[in-house]
């Protein structure tokens, strides 16, 4: 009798251990991980070293909690918002810049913008320049802080619940990418599903297998052949349409550290809100650049709304011509504009 009792207890403990392992990220292999990508939108007013440091801190928070994306595409992103609570110049010699920042970190669904977790905190920085004061404030973020561990754990639980109950949304997003000819991204989304969400994992693996062979990435030789010649026609002010949404590119300007792309948007049927999910452009030399601005715009029927999309990169070379500009709108599709002159 005692022996049977011991065996029964051992069996219960074994099953409990398996259940615990399946619902916690410690010790997971890559296929069991939830994929989250850190991203700083262009609407976040932070530049240079401070921006790079913030992205690094976000990556550390994700990595330390076992949620790093293994591929270039993932269904979820960690994004920040920054507000300046106070900013002043000290009366010391030399004078110093003192800033207090309110930072909000959010885990979102890349395709609908749905929120799966949020945490907020204040940080302070003092230094001889404003940018260095921002950098000093960002540096005080501790990726190992308990606040971030709780934040990521709660987000992870909500994401697992999402996979278990809303898997059809993931399949729909992948199907949309396939319809746009972006099979590789669709497969990356499907294969990012953690195996612990068994039913959704199986459905997504089945769909990924049905997509078929992926196109080979363009070689440098092909990219060279596709570059425009100097006498190619150059166009400024181009229009495109996705269903009832009209989009016009009215100006692209090089600012010395990036591009300002000004567009006009108009919906012709009814008042609505649209989301610009991704911006991609290729310069004359074939260099490719991407941003996920997560821009939400409220449109009034029949009224043009002007927005400037800002791409900032201190390392970007002088851009004078775009071979391709793509703007992807959530739920609508992607507009492509070719051969655009860049003003200086």
The string of pLDDT tens digits covering residues 128-163 is 888 889 989 998 999 889 999 999 999 989 988 888
Domain ranges in the chain are 31-211, 232-341
Q: Give the pairing type, strands 295-299 and 272-283.
A: antiparallel
Burial of residue 67 (CB within 10 Å: 0-12, 13-18, 19+) is buried
Residue 216, pLDDT > 60, answer no
Give 3-state DSSP helix, strand, coil % of the chain, rounded to 5: 35, 35, 35
Please give the residue that has the higher pLDDT: either 261 or 283. 261
- Compute φ and ψ for 73, nearest 5 degrees: -110, 140
pLDDT at 122 over 50: yes
Fill in the DSSP letter of residue 129.
S
Report the distance separating Cα 300 and Cα 278, nearest Å.
22
The predicted model scores a pTM of 0.53
According to the model, what pLDDT value does residue 312 have?
Answer: 78
Mean predicted lDDT score pLDDT of the chain? 78
Tokens of 265: 């948007």
Q: Given this structure, which CATH class describes domain 232-341?
A: mainly beta
Q: Is the pLDDT of residue 117 over 60?
A: yes
The Cα 133–Cα 187 span in angstroms is 42
């Amino acid at each position: 009798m005692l022996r049977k009792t011991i065996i029964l207890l051992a069996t219960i403990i074994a099953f409990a251990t398996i259940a615990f392992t399946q619902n916690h990220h410690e010790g997971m292999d890559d296929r069991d991980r939830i994929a989250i990508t850190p991203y700083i939108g262009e609407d976040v007013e932070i530049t240079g070293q401070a921006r790079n440091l913030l992205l690094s801190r976000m990556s550390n928070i994700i990595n330390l909690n076992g949620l790093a994306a293994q591929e270039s595409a993932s269904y979820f992103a960690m994004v920040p918002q920054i507000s300046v609570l106070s900013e002043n110049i000290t009366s010391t010699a030399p004078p110093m810049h003192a800033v207090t920042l309110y930072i909000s970190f959010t885990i979102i669904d890349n395709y609908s913008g749905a929120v799966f977790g949020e945490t907020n905190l204040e940080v302070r920085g003092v230094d001889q320049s404003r940018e260095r004061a921002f950098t000093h404030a960002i540096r005080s973020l501790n990726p190992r802080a308990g606040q971030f561990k709780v934040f990521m754990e709660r987000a992870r639980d909500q994401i697992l619940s999402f996979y278990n109950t809303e898997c059809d949304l993931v399949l729909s997003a992948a199907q949309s990418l396939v319809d746009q000819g972006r099979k590789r991204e669709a497969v990356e989304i499907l294969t990012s599903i953690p195996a612990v969400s068994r039913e959704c994992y199986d459905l997504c693996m089945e769909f990924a297998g049905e997509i078929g062979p992926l196109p080979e990435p363009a070689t440098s030789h092909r990219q060279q052949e596709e570059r425009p010649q100097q006498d190619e026609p150059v166009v400024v002010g181009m229009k495109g349409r996705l269903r009832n949404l009209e989009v016009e590119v009215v100006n692209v300007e090089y600012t010395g550290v990036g591009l300002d792309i000004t567009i006009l948007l108009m919906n012709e049927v009814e008042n609505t809100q649209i989301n610009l999910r991704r911006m991609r452009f290729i310069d004359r030399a074939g260099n490719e650049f991407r941003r996920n601005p997560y821009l939400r715009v409220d449109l009034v029927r029949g009224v043009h709304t002007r927005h400037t999309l800002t791409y900032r990169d201190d390392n970007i070379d002088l851009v004078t011509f775009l071979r391709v500009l793509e703007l992807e709108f959530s739920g609508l599709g992607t507009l492509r504009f070719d051969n655009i002159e860049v003003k200086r």
